[in-house]
Structure 1
Amino acid sequence: MRIRGYEAGDAGAAVELLDLISASDARIRWRRLLAEDGVVAFVADDGGRVLGAALLGAATDYRGQRAIGLGVAADARGRGIGTALAGVLVRADRAAGPEVVPVAMTMRDDLPDGLRFAERLGLQVYNHCTGWTITLDDPGPLWAAAQVAAAKSDVRLETTTVGESRARFVAAAAESLAGMPTDTPIDLEAFAANMPDHVVVLFAEDAEGAAGTCLIRQDGDTGGWHTSYTGVATRARRRGIARALKLGSFAAAAERGGTAMHGENDDRNVPMLALSAAVGMRRGLGYWSLVTDRLTEPWHS
C-alpha cells in the first residue's frame, strides 16, 4: 500500500470513500472539491485498488474556511491508512503558508472512532445537528396537508427548480438568514451555484413576495430525499410558514418518487427541532461540525 497524489481516474473510488463520513449524500460536493484548483488530495493505493482518500482545500460555498475530508474502506481499517493519509494532509497544511485559514469538516454522528481520530488532528467539535427522517407515501394527502398549512399562514406554495430560480432562491434565503443559529459563513450564491439545475425549490409567497423557501434534493439512496435548506423571512416568522414549506417538501418529493425525506436541524434551533417532531419526523442520522486553525500530527496526540 502506498500513499500517492490523487489522479482523475481515482474520482469514483475517492468520492465514495470521502462520502463515508457524510450524514447525507454529499458525493456531488466531494466530486466538485476534488476538481477545484485550490484543493490537494491523496489516495491510499494497494495494487491498483484505492483503499482511502483525503483532501484539503478551499470550500467555495463557505467563506474563509478550508474543507477537509478523509475516508478509509471498511475492510481496510486498522492498518494505519487513515494515519498515513492524515500525515500528508498535515504536511500540506503546513506548506500552505503562515496565513491561518480555519480547517473545517462535518462528520456523521454515528462514528465515535472517526470523531476521536478527527480530534487527534486538532479538530474540535463546535456544534451538532440532529438528524430527522420520515417515510413518504401518497403525495395527495401530503399536498392537502401542505395546502391547509399554507392557507393558515396566508401564503401560496410554489414548486420550481434551481435551474429556473437560482437567483430568486438566493434572494429568498438571504432574507431568512438573520437570527438563524450558525457559526459557518455560508456564501449563498456559491451554495446555489453548486447545486444542479434539477434540484427542487419551494417558495412560500405572500402579498409582499417570497416569505420563505425550501431546497430539497435526492440523497443518493433509492427513493431518498434530503432537505438542504429551509428558511423563513424575518418579516414573516411565527405564522406557521416553515410548517407549510416542510409539508410541501414532503409532497414534492413523494410526487417525484421519493419514499423518505431526511434532514438535519442545528441543536440550537429549538423551533425547527420542535417542528420536525411535530410533522411526524423521527430521529435519524445527524452530524458534528469540527474546526481547527491548524492540523496536528495524529501520531503525536
Structure 2
Amino acid sequence: MRIRLAQPDDAPAVVALRAVVHPYLVRGVESTRKMLTDPPPHGGWTAFVAEDAGRVVGWTSAEPTGTTAAADFGDINLLHVHPDWRRRGIGTALLKAATDHLGPLGVRRVRTMAQTDSLGFARRHGFTVSREVRYSALDLNPAPALPVPPPGVRLLPIADLDPHLLYAADVASAVDEPGDVPVDAKSYESWQYDVWDNLGLDKAASTAAVSGGEVAAFSLVKRDGDRMWSDYTGSVPAYRGRGLARLAKTAALHRAAAAGVRIAYTSNDEANAPMLAINARLGYRPVAAQWSCLTELT
C-alpha cells in the first residue's frame, strides 16, 4: 500500500470508491477528472489516494478554505477508505499526508467531515466534534408539479441568466449560512470554478426566482446520469418569508425529473431549520449523517 498524489486518470476509480462509501454523494467521473486536472483557483488544493496493488482504496483532498476570510483555516475533504481495507492504518496515512500539505501553507485550524461510525477515529486524532449535517434523498417518481410563481416573480433556468446576477444572490444568501466559519470571502473567480463552470451543473434544471431584475432565490442542480445533487438552495435576505426558495427548488426538481433524473440528494446543517422544513415538505427522507470535526495543527 502507498499514499500518492491523485492523478486525472484516477477519476473513475475515485468515483467508484465514493459510490461504495458515500452512495448519497453525486460527482461524476468527468467533473472529478477536471478537478484533478485543473484545481480550484484560490490555490493550495491537492488530493491523495491510497493504492494497494494498483487499486485505489482511499482518498482525500486538502486545501486552505477559499470561502472564508479566516486566513488560517483549511479543510480535509471527504477522507474515506474502502470498508475492506480499514483498520490497516490507511486513514491515518491519508490524514498525515493532508496535514503535512496544509501546515506549510499557513493553515492552523482544520475541519474535516466524519460519518457517525468514524467519530472515534476523528477523536483519536485530536479532532473535536462540532456540527451535524443531515443527508437526505427524494424519489422523483412522481416528481413535484411545476409550481406557479406569484405575481412579479419569474422562474427561469439559470442558463438564461447573467452569471454575475446568480453570484450576487449566492453571496448574499450565504452570509448567515450555519457553519464552523462564516462564508464571507467567496470571490467571483472561485464561485465560477465551483459552480458555473462545474461540468456537472445542469443549467437547464437549475432554477432562479427572479423579481425586479434580481435573483431573489435559486436552487442549483448538479447531475450524474439519473442522480442529482441539490448543490445549494438559497434566498436573498430581502426576499425571505415569501416561499421563493421552496418555489425555486420545486421547479428545479420538476425540471430535473423531466430530463431523466430519478433520485435527488441533498445535505443540510441540522441548525438550518428553514431548509430542513422545505425538504420535509417536498418529501425528502434522511439517509445518512456526517459531523464536522475541528482540530488545530501544532
Tell me the TM-score range normalised by the shorter chain.
0.7 to 0.9
Cross-structure match for 1:299? none
Supply the AA of the counterpart residue of 2:170: A
2:265 alignment partner in structure 1: 262
1:205 paired to 2:203: no
Match for 1:125 among 126, 129, 147? 129
Q: Secondary structure at the match of 2:291?
A: strand
CA deviation after TM superposition for structure 1 residue 118, in Å:
2.2
How far did 1:34 drift?
7.6
| Residues 16 and 103 (structure 1), Cα distance of their counterparts in 2 relative to 1, 3 Å cut | farther
Aligned equivalent of 2:164, options 144, 167, 173? 167
TM-score (norm 1): 0.78
**8 A Cα contact 2:26 2:227, kept in partner:** no
Q: CA RMSD in A?
A: 3.1
Number of the residue aligned with 2:44 = 38
Q: Which secondary structure state, in structure 2, belongs to the residue aligned with residue 239 of structure 1?
A: coil
Structure 1 partner of 2:13: 13
CA distance in 1, matches of 2:213, 2:258: 28
> Counterparts of 1:11-160 in structure 2 under 5 Å?
11-14=11-14, 16-17=16-17, 20=21, 24-26=25-27, 28=31, 32=35, 36=39, 38-61=44-67, 64=71, 65-69=73-77, 70-94=79-103, 96=104, 99-107=106-114, 111-137=115-141, 142-143=145-146, 146-147=147-148, 150-151=149-150, 154-160=152-158
Deviation at 1:2, TM superposition (A): 3.4
CA distance in 2, matches of 1:113, 1:31: 31
Q: Do the aligned residues in 1 keep the contact of 2:218 with 2:249 (CA within 8 Å)? A: no
Q: Distance in 2 between matches of 1:228 and 1:6?
A: 24
Correspondence for 2:245 among 242, 252, 256: 242
Identify unmatched segments of 5+ residues in structure 2: none
Q: 2:231 aligns with which of 224, 228, 245?
A: 228
Which residue number corresponds to residue 220 of structure 2?
A: 215
Q: CA deviation at 1:235?
A: 1.5
Offset, 1:204: 0.8
**Does the CA-based 8 Å contact 1:136-1:259 persist in structure 2?**
yes
Q: CA deviation at 1:22?
A: 8.1
State the Cα distance separating 1:18 from its structure 2 match: 6.2
- Counterpart amino acid of 1:48? G
How many residue pairs align between the two structures? 281
The TM-score with structure 2 as length reference comes to: 0.79
* Shift in Å, 1:29: 6.1
Structure 1: any 5+ residue segments left out of the alignment?
296-301
Structure 1 contact 44–85 (Cα < 8 Å) conserved: yes
Q: What secondary structure, in the 3-state scheme, does the structure 2 residue paired with 1:85 have?
A: helix
Q: Deviations over 1:50-89 (max 9, x none)?
A: 3323443334455543221422222222322223333444
Instruction: Confirm or deny: 8 A CA contact 1:124 1:291 kept in the other structure.
Output: yes
Q: Distance in 2 between matches of 1:46 and 1:100?
A: 30
Cα distance change of structure 1 residues 50 and 282 upon mapping to structure 2, 3 Å threshold? closer
Higher mean displacement: 35-44 or 77-86: 35-44
Greater radius of gyration (CA): 1
Post-superposition Cα deviations, 1:246-279, rounded to whole Å, max 9, x if no partner, equal 2111111112111122212221122222221122
Alpha-carbon distance in 2 for matches of 1:264, 1:209? 26
Identity %: 28
